[in-house]
Structure 1
Amino acid sequence: MRILLPFFLLAALIFFSCNSESQKDLPPPNILWISTEDIDPAWGGYGDEYAATPNIDGLAADGFIFTRASANSPICAPARSTLITGMYATSLGTQHLRSDVPLPNDLKILPEILREHGYYTSNNVKTDYNFSAEGRWDDSSKDAHWRNRKEGQPFFSVVNFMITHEGPTNNDDPESVKKDLKLRHDPAKAPIPPYFPDTPKMREIIAHAYDLISIFDQGVGELVQQLKDDGLYDNTIIFVFSDHGFGLPRHKRWLTNSGLHIPLVLHVPEKYRHLVSNLETQQVDDLVGFVDFAPTVLGLAGIAPSSYMEGNNFLGPNAVKNQYNFGFRSRADDCHEMSRSVSDGRYLYIRHYLPQLPYIQNAIIFTQGKQAMEEIYRARNEKTLPNHMEQYFHPKMTIELYDLEEDPYELNNLAMKPEHQERIGLFQKELDQWMVKHRDSGMLNESEYMLRAKGSSVYEILRDDTQFDPEKTLEAMNLVGQIDGASTLKRMQDQDPLVRYWGLIALEYAGLNSSLLIQELENMLDDPSPINAIQSAKMLIQIKEDPKAYQTLGKYLQAEEETTVLHAAIALRLLEEKAQPLIPLVVDEIYPKYAGEVWGRYKSWSYPMFIGMALDQARINCGEEIRVRN
């Protein structure tokens, strides 16, 4: 008996059979990353009616718009480290801004893997990975371009735009950077979030930020036109994204959704749509993070991800849907921090492990040359600053929880609501498991792990059970925010220096002041771990301006290891006017070692810069007049 197939089914089988054969003959796709700095999802395709982004919106119109993409970190270097490795920066010790961290010799980043499989790799021009990028690209320079490859060679190219960075955004001469922009945004119509003072100056800043986004959009249009001129547009998958939120207070550096949430538009030519077969609608609500970008690009190129990559491929038939996006905030400039977050897309949970440090610290990075901060300070002095922003000048709550659907501006912290305690417990459990699984380097102070990593790498020492017990350390960390003086004092006598460190932090946040505590602090001035001695000295000086504590802090300000000096300098800055006895030492012996021409004062863009910034602010706190030219 002969079975006749319906015509449409027969046609479909023929089509898919032929299409399957043609897919096998397709060359690997070219992949272009177009990244910009410091912007929210402020593009027309995201429904932002104030934005003027026709080129990006054109790509989105026949492509895909991701609504829940995350940078994993709200500041560039750790975000970019995560992006290019497919590993959380916290797994590598690269979660600070900025640093120079040794990596395992056999760890290869995304462009290196693609090169091994025949791709030409170019990066124009920013790296900022917190480790050396030398030799990892075919070309990483201001002249890097896919046009420099061999004829017919597939390429992976990254073009980084800096026009939207917080520097231009806070420029006091905005006309110089947008002189060729014809269409300007009207400040009167600028969207002002409720945590900003609604003033003419703030409206000008927001309008200027949107003007810079329009300049970036023009750059996207020029790159797309170059692809078309080269006959490559229909062979190139394009990612357009930002490296974290706006270069403004409450965005960049904040572990809120406003700091982590990024725009991401994906253009996929028709011939390569089978590589993104899991995407069924233009709007994609899946949770994706920077940690997922590298394994996803490898998947598009038909290459298996490296075993050490921690992200998931979010495109194609083998795509993995994330249940959570994780985030981290550590030291930025000379402002030490240790916060972690987890989001399921609806709720964002944040756990602070140094809650005694406010979001806005008394530091150069928040006081020198930033128009937005100057406007916030002006409003604060006039008592017109919105209360939500005022909170950021004070110690943090240990826990924050926000409903991003009901409260998109994250104004209402739900952490104390009884009905959310079960949810908080679940999020904390997920966060604990994530930190332990990935051996979060934030459990160790930066000074501690850099000393331990000499001759090795941070990644390797984090995975050495003789050097690091993450479960035990995390147990001590979770005491921060609890009022349990006896238990915490016991931690200060533990054999593990990490447990002792977190005992100190918990007691500092609790604000306890007893003779027993003072005795323990005096004993720990001789702690073999420098960061414990530094922290003990700072706490003793705050309590009673102890002479030996000043000697201890002065000793570590003169240490050879730069990260140790940095954290001693941060402690000095946090002492405010009580730093005075050490200022002569700073001026005569310490500061000259780190002085240079960066910003007119510092020796380099890495540790010496941040040491210098902390020392400068300490001198300002004690009455000196210093102006940093940034």
Structure 2
Amino acid sequence: MITRTLLFLAVLLSLCGTSRLHAADRPNILWLTTEDIGPNLGCYGDTYAVTPNLDAFAKRSQLFLNAWSNAPVCAPARTAIISGMYPPSTGSEHMRSSVPLPEGVKMYPQMLREAGYYCTNNAKEDYNLQKTKTPEDKDAVWDASGKNAHWKNRKDGQPFFAIFNFTNTHESQIRQPGHKLVHDPAKANVPPYHPDTPESHHDWAQYADNITEMDGLFAAKLKEMEDAGLAEDTIVFFYGDHGAGMPRHKRWPYNSGLRVPFIVHFPKKWEHLAPKGYAAGAKSEELISFVDLSPTLLSIIGQPAPDYLQGRAFCGSHAKPAPEFLYGFRGRMDERQDLVRSVTDGRYVYIRQYMPHLPYGQHINYMMQMPTAQVWKKAYDEGRATPEQAMFWKATKPSEELYDLQSDPHEVKNLAGDPAHVATLDKLRAANEKHLKDTRDLGFIPEAERLKVSGDRSPRDAFVSEDVYPFDQVLAMARAASDTSGSGKDAAPFIAGLSHNNAVVRYWAALGLHIRGAAAVGMGHKALRKAFADSSVSVRIAAANALATHDGNGPYAAVAMEVLIAYADARRAGNATAMEALSALGNHVEKLKPYADKIAALPDGAPGTEQRLKEYVPRLKEKLNADLGITAKP
């Protein structure tokens, strides 16, 4: 009798376990995502777009008006999603970097799989964080990831989480030659910062054509799910991975580069898990961003988020109130260094430039293949650009920018110096500073220095100690260094900073002298020369760049050029160091002409460089060779 009772209990427990995983008891979740588009859909009020299927989907779903991707380019944007953490907090903010996960952190599919979900990704990953492997060296993140990954391959009755990513809207598809336009280019909505030329109109029309094609792909994938009889059990999300794949949209953390279309559909059965105010055709002004997606998924399946996740669930059983602000960032974009942070409260956008000595429009090889970028730069070089168009190509940037999206949706009128907006500027500036501290932003560490210190460890773990990364001191020096309102005569804090015991502080001290110009560099001349022997190669490069830029034709300008050329050798210095040095050398074309043979002889990268980073040193070298008139050897 006891044996029969135990057997009955065992069978009952087994059935309960199976029931827990059954799709009828837990929702399926389907993500249909696309690349490189802003909210240029009919349902978002874009009268140029032709998107009947997405418009119909929006009428029976909820549309978010204020969704940000956190990063304005694919790899770091996807990194924010997969980790649920801001990439600058994990050292994964640079385009196509590859860093270990912090200790104890899991990518969200791992957590969904542990809860019984079958998780598939079709097909793009492009994460800057390295995926976890099983002891058998298999993928521990996805059940299947690739062009054949599909929810159909799950076990019978198992709930699924599935992604299908449409690639036809990618930046590279806008510039495909031979395309026969469907949208009338004359009616294209060319923004005021782009030149009003046939090339710009054509690019924007082709961008719209690609969105219309994607609209059909979206409908087909949705129909496939519905035809399988899964519509009543499946929650559907649609969104883009960052803003439009056009210059000054993609790669720039303005609203134009970060705002994405975001539509969610909850079938009747699962409406109790839907976002606040959910209704057919509803439009939500709630602020959401990509770091929210991981905790939101967990909330939908009834699980609380781990403490390390930095976003918040905007729906499900563990939903939390909306934030006051959203945050964006820009780090190294392909081969070009930069450091920008942005904040929005939904109406105003605040931009903080920490490298204002670099132009907006640095030459990024991939971006410059776009016809719009080419004619735009040409118009500037020939003096034909309007003030709104010229700003992008000027040699320097302001430290702070503030835009009112209500009166200036194209973000061309900087209000940072307007007395009428002091309170707003102060509020968003403070929000930015708080966010940097709360997340312990690692973006202030130069990449070569970060790699040297972290080695095979996660940067977040390697720099957790204040002894290694005294964050408040670093931020104070970076803030002062990048404040372009400062006088060239206030060199003393930066000269003192070059003697600090921390390399990151010294790096920003060198940048502070550089940004302040010739007077400050003259006052800090001795300290900068001493920095040529600094223990950090990033400090040496920053000091050499300052002297090469502001020492005129003095003897140390020539020494500085030799220092930069030496570190531009990737075989000897490594890829990250070579990229820092080559980026600096690009500012000194005239002074480089006597060294043309040395530049031509530089290698195209370091042996063993990861595939996703291989192209950057060659691109930098190619641009230098072109500027110097060096003909590449066949």
Flag whether TM exceeds 0.5 (same fold): yes
Q: How many Å apart are 1:106 and its aligned residue? A: 2.9
Contact 1:86 1:294 in 2 (8 A): yes
Q: How many Å apart are 1:319 and its aligned residue? A: 2.9
Q: Which residue of 1 aligns with 2:604?
A: 591
Q: Which is worse superposed, 232-241 or 274-283?
A: 274-283
2:285 is aligned with 1:285: yes
Q: How many Å apart are 1:582 and its aligned residue? A: 4.7
2:455 is aligned with 1:454: yes
Q: Which residue of 2 aligns with 1:58?
A: 56
Amino acid at match of 1:161: F
Contact 2:454 2:463 in 1 (8 A): no
Q: Which residue of 2 aligns with 1:600?
A: none
Q: How many Å apart are 1:625 and its aligned residue? A: 4.4
Structure 2 CA distance for aligned equivalents of residues 591 and 624 of structure 1: 15
Secondary structure in structure 2 of the residue aligned to 1:322: coil
Q: Which residue of 1 aligns with 2:388?
A: 388
Indicate how the Cα distance of structure 1 residues 240 and 296 shifts in structure 2: closer, same or farther if over 3 A, else same.
same
Q: Which residue of 2 aligns with 1:158?
A: 163
Q: Deviations over 1:362-395 (max 9, x none)?
A: 443443x221112213433554433212111111
2:528 is aligned with 1:531: no
Structure 2 CA distance for aligned equivalents of residues 25 and 107 of structure 1: 27
Q: How many Å apart are 1:510 and its aligned residue? A: 1.4
Given candidates 500, 508, 512, the residue that maps to 2:506 is 500
Q: Which is worse superposed, 137-146 or 571-580?
A: 571-580
Q: How many Å apart are 1:279 and its aligned residue? A: 2.3
Contact 2:244 2:250 in 1 (8 A): yes
Amino acid at match of 1:163: N
Q: Deviations over 1:495-540 (max 9, x none)?
A: 2211111111122111133543222211100110110001111222
Q: How many Å apart are 1:352 and its aligned residue? A: 0.4
Contact 1:239 1:265 in 2 (8 A): yes
Q: Which residue of 1 aligns with 2:16?
A: none
Q: Which residue of 2 aligns with 1:522?
A: 529
Structure 2 CA distance for aligned equivalents of residues 454 and 420 of structure 1: 45
Amino acid at match of 1:210: A
Q: Which residue of 2 aligns with 1:193?
A: 191
Q: Which residue of 2 aligns with 1:227?
A: 225
Unaligned runs of 5+ in 1: 1-23, 179-183, 596-602
Q: How many Å apart are 1:604 and its aligned residue? A: 6.2
Contact 2:101 2:130 in 1 (8 A): no
Q: Which residue of 1 aligns with 2:298?
A: 298
Structure 1 CA distance for aligned equivalents of residues 25 and 433 of structure 2: 43
Q: Deviations over 1:391-442 (max 9, x none)?
A: 1111111000011111111121000011222322222222111111111011
Q: How many Å apart are 1:315 and its aligned residue? A: 1.1
Q: Which residue of 1 aligns with 2:136?
A: none
Q: Which is worse superposed, 415-424 or 471-480?
A: 415-424
Runs of 4+ in 1 over 4 A off after TM superposition: 592-595, 625-628
Contact 2:468 2:502 in 1 (8 A): no
Structure 1 CA distance for aligned equivalents of residues 245 and 592 of structure 2: 31
Given candidates 576, 584, 587, the residue that maps to 1:574 is 587
Secondary structure in structure 2 of the residue aligned to 1:441: coil
Alignment of 1:106-145 (within 5 A): 106-133=104-131, 134-145=139-150
Amino acid at match of 2:284: V
Contact 1:97 1:130 in 2 (8 A): yes
Structure 2 CA distance for aligned equivalents of residues 568 and 220 of structure 1: 45
Normalised by the length of structure 2, the TM-score is 0.89
Q: How many Å apart are 1:340 and its aligned residue? A: 0.5
Secondary structure in structure 2 of the residue aligned to 1:606: helix
Secondary structure in structure 2 of the residue aligned to 1:443: coil
Contact 1:594 1:612 in 2 (8 A): no
Contact 1:170 1:372 in 2 (8 A): no
Given candidates 479, 488, 493, the residue that maps to 2:494 is 488
Q: How many Å apart are 1:217 and its aligned residue? A: 0.8
Contact 1:241 1:265 in 2 (8 A): yes
Structure 1 CA distance for aligned equivalents of residues 225 and 189 of structure 2: 34
Contact 1:239 1:267 in 2 (8 A): yes
Q: How many Å apart are 1:269 and its aligned residue? A: 0.7
Amino acid at match of 1:296: T
Figure out how many residues of one structure are paired with residues of the other and give that number.
591
Alignment of 1:310-459 (within 5 A): 310-316=310-316, 318-367=319-368, 369-381=369-381, 383-394=383-394, 395-459=396-460
Structure 1 CA distance for aligned equivalents of residues 242 and 605 of structure 2: 35
Indicate how the Cα distance of structure 1 residues 227 and 562 shifts in structure 2: closer, same or farther if over 3 A, else same.
same
Q: How many Å apart are 1:589 and its aligned residue? A: 4.7
Q: Which residue of 1 aligns with 2:135?
A: none
Q: Which residue of 2 aligns with 1:173?
A: 178
Amino acid at match of 1:37: E
Contact 1:168 1:174 in 2 (8 A): no
Normalised by the length of structure 1, the TM-score is 0.90
Q: Which is worse superposed, 421-430 or 34-43?
A: 421-430
Structure 1 CA distance for aligned equivalents of residues 78 and 183 of structure 2: 30
Q: Which residue of 2 aligns with 1:6?
A: none
Q: Deviations over 1:173-215 (max 9, x none)?
A: 335xx8xxxxx21112211212222222221111110000011
Structure 2 CA distance for aligned equivalents of residues 375 and 621 of structure 1: 18
Structure 1 CA distance for aligned equivalents of residues 418 and 32 of structure 2: 42
Q: How many Å apart are 1:265 and its aligned residue? A: 0.8
Structure 2 CA distance for aligned equivalents of residues 382 and 351 of structure 1: 29
Q: Which is worse superposed, 503-512 or 575-584?
A: 575-584
Secondary structure in structure 1 of the residue aligned to 2:604: helix
Identical counterparts, % of pairs: 34
RMSD value, Cα: 2.2
Q: Deviations over 1:442-479 (max 9, x none)?
A: 12111111111114211102322221111111111110
